[in-house]
Structure 1
Amino acid sequence: MKALNHPSWRIVNIYHGIRAIPAFIIGLIPTWAHAEFGLNLHAPASGLAQDIYDLHTVILWICLAIFIAVFVPMFFALIRHRKSRGHQAATFHDNLWVEIIWTIIPVLILLAMAWPATKLVVSMKDTSKEDLTIKVTGHQWKWEYEYLGENIRFMSNSSTPKEQIDGAQPKGENYLLEVDRPLVVPAGKKIRLVMTSSDVIHAWWVPAFGIKQDAVPGFIRDAWFKADAPGIYRGQCAELCGVGHGFMPVVVEVVTPEQFATWQQQQKTLVAAASANAGKTYELAELKALGEKVYATNCMACHQPTGMGIPGAFPALSGSELIAAGKAEHIDIILNGKPGTAMAAFGKQLSDLDLAAVITYERNSWDNKLGDVVQPADVTARRK
């Protein structure tokens, strides 16, 4: 043991330690080679986003030039004229012209940056001369899109599988950035968005378009974008809006004007078909099958797949006294929601068929074995 503490052994240990350092660094090189060091704004997909990107780049270079002009001479003076090298601190008094110059120069720099920035902000707020207006309503936690004047309205929900969220499956390429129904718009057209919210503050954000606008309850805000080329563009809610905030993506599908016209006609056909089926009588099995899908999209996050809810936050539906009370009470709360709670009003979000289906599903699932059926006509009657 004494031999190991001999100075010669200490020198050997230090030598081997120094030799290990390059080996450690070399071991990291493959990791560095595959690392992503790029840091920048999202690639622009609209003229507005390109203007934001260009202004950001110009101001960044100006800031770099100011940094060099100020700090390089300062560090040079600190190093070359330090006291340890025999330099003495200079004594001098105020110089009016120097103070005027170093006040005017920053003001001119700020004005040079403020002018293009102000023009860009004014352009971002100019929603006139639009080709298409879409009303966007934020809900906890999904988006509602209504094409004004076109009789097209639908909900856009996150479609990331629950298995991926729970870690039972590998995460997909667009994890938490995929929806069941994207917003569809034509390329090269100015799209005006009028935004509001039904509950809390949300924010509709698609970085590729250079657009981020808050959706505030009781207020109408507007914004616009014009996509340059067809493609799929993704974003998300950018305002902390509750426990489901991370599950509120935005997906915009940009298509050619011809494809958009075809899509519009298809949507109008679907609306007409839904209206025609509103008076149809459905079997229990049909409604339960559809209701299970509606429940998975709109209700499962709060009330859970088992219908047991989340204790202290969201009530259980399985064995619920409300459901056992009767169909009318059940329909009313689904239609109108419950003030003061997270229970939203689905009357404007879902069709009468979807509402009838999900209510039937809830009344005949888990510990609820009522055996009754709610038809679309029953929902329609409760709306009046």
Structure 2
Amino acid sequence: MGMGTRARGLIGGGMAALALALFAAAPAAAQELVGQPTDGALGLQAAASPLKVEAHMFHDAILMPIITFICLLVLGLIVWIVIRYNKKSNPVPAKWSHNTLVEVIWTVVPVLILVFISLFSFRLLFNYHDMPEPDLTVKVTGNQWNWAYEYPDQAIPEYISNMLPEEEVAQRGMPHSLYRLAADEPMVVPVGANVRLLVTAADVIHAVALPAFGLKTDAVPGRVNETWFRADRPGVYYGQCSELCGVDHAFMPIQINVVSRAEFASWVASKGGSMTPRTADQAPGGTAAQIEAGTTGAVATRNVSSGPMRAASDAVAGQSAPAPAAAPAPAAPVPAAAPAAQ
């Protein structure tokens, strides 16, 4: 009786503590910040891309109910065993050692649960790999310890993105929580565009991680990994390198500014690029073929200029390129002079 009372007291106290924690965290969750961590918030960051929306559904509607049910079931079994089979309640222990039916159940049921989870997991994984026609391509290179971005479609050469120092964060009137998240030269993309990222590294393994878009892709020296995202709404979104890469690993933030099409065109012009994409071999720093060949020397080549921007490029090239001049006809051979008569 004493053991049962103590067990029920522990359970009641734990449930009360959990309820109090949920109640205390509710205001923070209601004021969740977009594109950055929120102190005291529960759950994942707010989704800003279709892939992250699907990841939220998978986590909230599939994984969390199953995990919660399993935890409560195991907790209930433990409490029941503690109360029902302690020495005071059960002075004469049973002599059996196993139960075939129970063993079949606890083998088959977990397999069925895993198969059920895999159906949704594989669908989400396929969506990550099934990239739609990209509107622009950004080459992302991880360095010790900063990021380099290049826009081959817009002829924007590689530029370096470093973390903003703490004093500059304060000078710009930004909240201190953005220290180690804000960057001096962010990646800029237009809202609603399908952005293809070609991710690699110059020295050691890094990782591009941006929670609001559901991105996490390794940057590996000697190879190019490909991923994509589409930002549904304008804003500033923050991420970080999520692969331990050296002493300054904590100082590699990723900042992505999602802007309107007009603002993106102005930014491209400020970088010396052009919204009328040139052919891939004209873009400085080049194509995916040059990127991959220069990085790996063995990866199959492919053109990064594709989609609507590539179509526009081909149309412009077809209209503006002058017709090649006709090659001059080869001169007729001059016959050798006949020898003089003797």
- CA positional deviation for 1:177: 1.4
- CA positional deviation for 1:243: 2.3
Post-superposition CA distance 1:330-353 (Å, at most 9, x none) = xxxxxxxxxxxxxxxxxxxxxxxx
Residue 174 (1) aligns with residue 208 (2): no
CA, structure 1 residues 98+269, in 2 after alignment: closer, same or farther (shift >3 Å)?
closer
Q: 1:106 aligns with which of 99, 110, 113?
A: 110
The answer to whether the Cα contact below 8 Å between 1:127 and 1:222 also exists between their aligned partners in 2 is: no
- CA positional deviation for 1:254: 0.4
Quote the Cα distance in structure 2 between the aligned partners of 1:221 and 1:242: 21
Residue 43 (1) aligns with residue 23 (2): no
Amino acid in structure 2 at the alignment position of 1:47: P
- CA positional deviation for 1:162: 5.9
Residue 188 (1) aligns with residue 192 (2): yes
- CA positional deviation for 1:146: 1.1
The alignment partner of 2:178 has SS state of coil
Equivalent runs, 1:1-384 vs 2, <5 Å: 37-57=40-60, 58-92=62-96, 94-161=98-165, 163=167, 172-268=176-272
Quote the Cα distance in structure 1 between the aligned partners of 2:175 and 2:188: 26
Quote the Cα distance in structure 1 between the aligned partners of 2:230 and 2:167: 36
Post-superposition CA distance 1:121-164 (Å, at most 9, x none) = 22222334222111111122221111122211242333523657
The alignment partner of 2:254 has SS state of strand
The answer to whether the Cα contact below 8 Å between 2:84 and 2:90 also exists between their aligned partners in 1 is: no
CA, structure 1 residues 97+56, in 2 after alignment: closer, same or farther (shift >3 Å)?
same
Q: What is the TM-score normalised by the length of structure 2?
A: 0.62
Quote the Cα distance in structure 2 between the aligned partners of 1:159 and 1:77: 55
Amino acid in structure 1 at the alignment position of 2:223: F
Post-superposition CA distance 1:57-106 (Å, at most 9, x none) = 22122011012223303311321332213543233465444433332211
Post-superposition CA distance 1:2-58 (Å, at most 9, x none) = xxxxxxxxxxxxxxxxxxxxxxxxxxxxxx899964332222111111211221222
Quote the Cα distance in structure 2 between the aligned partners of 1:253 and 1:37: 25
Query: Structure 2: any 5+ residue segments left out of the alignment?
Result: 1-23, 29-38, 275-342
- CA positional deviation for 1:252: 0.2
Quote the Cα distance in structure 2 between the aligned partners of 1:115 and 1:101: 21
The alignment partner of 1:85 has SS state of coil
The answer to whether the Cα contact below 8 Å between 1:133 and 1:191 also exists between their aligned partners in 2 is: yes
Aligned pairs, number: 237
Post-superposition CA distance 1:235-272 (Å, at most 9, x none) = 111122222222211100001223323332343369xx
Quote the Cα distance in structure 2 between the aligned partners of 1:60 and 1:185: 33
- C-alpha RMSD of matched pairs (Å): 2.9
- CA positional deviation for 1:220: 0.7
- CA positional deviation for 1:200: 1.4
The answer to whether the Cα contact below 8 Å between 2:166 and 2:179 also exists between their aligned partners in 1 is: no
Q: What is the TM-score normalised by the length of structure 1?
A: 0.56
Q: Hey, which bits of structure 1, 4+ residues long, moved more than 6 A? A: 32-35
Query: Structure 1: any 5+ residue segments left out of the alignment?
Result: 1-31, 271-384
1:305 equivalent in structure 2: none
Quote the Cα distance in structure 2 between the aligned partners of 1:95 and 1:176: 56
Post-superposition CA distance 1:326-381 (Å, at most 9, x none) = xxxxxxxxxxxxxxxxxxxxxxxxxxxxxxxxxxxxxxxxxxxxxxxxxxxxxxxx
Amino acid in structure 1 at the alignment position of 2:144: Q
Identical counterparts, % of pairs = 40
Q: Which structure has more helix as a fraction of its residues?
A: 1
1:303 equivalent in structure 2: none
Quote the Cα distance in structure 2 between the aligned partners of 1:189 and 1:75: 53
